[in-house]
């Protein structure tokens, strides 16, 4: 609990946002209360409820935020859509873990020196780090919606989103809206 309080203080004093983590009575409900400083005196408060059995997920999201500068709420939203916070999830095409990362994508991120040499896609920390690195990479090239399309089906998806999204698979066409529906809660 002291670690969470220290993390809260560190984050509270950053310019971007603070994260309060409230742990409810049972071990599985955590509430991230994200406070974004919109203007000097105006504060926007948002909440997202996360179902998990481990503080490891919150800590990994906070680490990914500091390392990649991606909004923790966006990371949570992607995880919600991708795996519903199941760290052992495996898709029909072989994507693994919380952020449903493909082995080939992880190796590409590794080749570009965006992640560490050794990784385990079922490791909560590694998966969130890699998934967030991919998200940051796509956000550097595309708008938010196009970056989410690229996250879902590869870089090609981001390019197609901008030119002719009707050619994308239906899942990819709907993916950005699903993530954004969690993101805006």
CATH number of 72's domain:
1.10.530
Per-residue pLDDT of the chain (185 residues; tens, 9 = 90+): 444 444 443 444 343 344 444 333 333 334 444 433 333 333 333 344 444 445 688 889 999 999 999 999 999 999 999 999 999 999 999 999 999 999 999 998 888 887 777 889 999 999 999 999 999 999 999 999 999 999 999 888 888 888 898 899 999 999 999 999 988 86
In a domain, 42, yes or no: yes
Q: Which residues of 95-105 are buried (b: 16+ CB within 10 A; e: fewer)?
A: bbbbbbbbeeb
Domain ranges, residue 136: 2-140
Whether residue 102 contacts residue 166, with contact meaning beta carbons closer than 8 Å, is answered with no
Q: Is residue 50 part of a domain?
A: yes
Q: Is residue 176 part of a domain?
A: no
Examine residue 115 and state whether it is found in any structural domain, yes or no: yes
181 is a domain residue: no
Could you tell me if residue 154 is inside a domain?
no
Give the pLDDT confidence score for residue 158 in this predicted structure. Answer: 87
In a domain, 145, yes or no: no
Question: What is the rounded distance in angstroms from the CA atom of residue 168 to the CA atom of residue 117?
Answer: 33
Q: Is residue 146 part of a domain?
A: no
Number of domains in the chain: 1
């Amino acid at each position: 609990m002291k670690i969470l309080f220290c993390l809260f203080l560190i984050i509270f004093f950053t310019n971007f946002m603070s994260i309060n983590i409230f742990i409810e009575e049972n071990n599985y409900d955590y509430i991230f209360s994200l406070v974004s400083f919109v203007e000097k005196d105006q504060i926007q408060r948002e909440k997202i409820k996360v179902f998990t059995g481990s503080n490891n997920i919150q800590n990994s999201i906070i680490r990914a935020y500091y390392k990649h500068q991606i909004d923790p709420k966006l990371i949570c939203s992607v995880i919600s859509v991708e795996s519903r916070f199941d760290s052992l999830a495996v898709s029909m095409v072989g994507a693994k873990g919380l952020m449903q990362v493909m082995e080939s994508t992880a190796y590409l991120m590794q080749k570009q020196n965006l992640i560490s040499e050794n990784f385990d896609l079922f490791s909560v920390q590694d998966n969130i780090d890699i998934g967030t690195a991919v998200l940051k990479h796509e956000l550097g090239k595309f708008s938010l919606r196009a970056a989410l399309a690229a996250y879902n089906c590869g870089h090609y998806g981001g390019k197609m989103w901008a030119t002719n999204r009707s050619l994308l698979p239906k899942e990819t066409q709907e993916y950005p809206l699903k993530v954004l529906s969690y993101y805006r809660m």
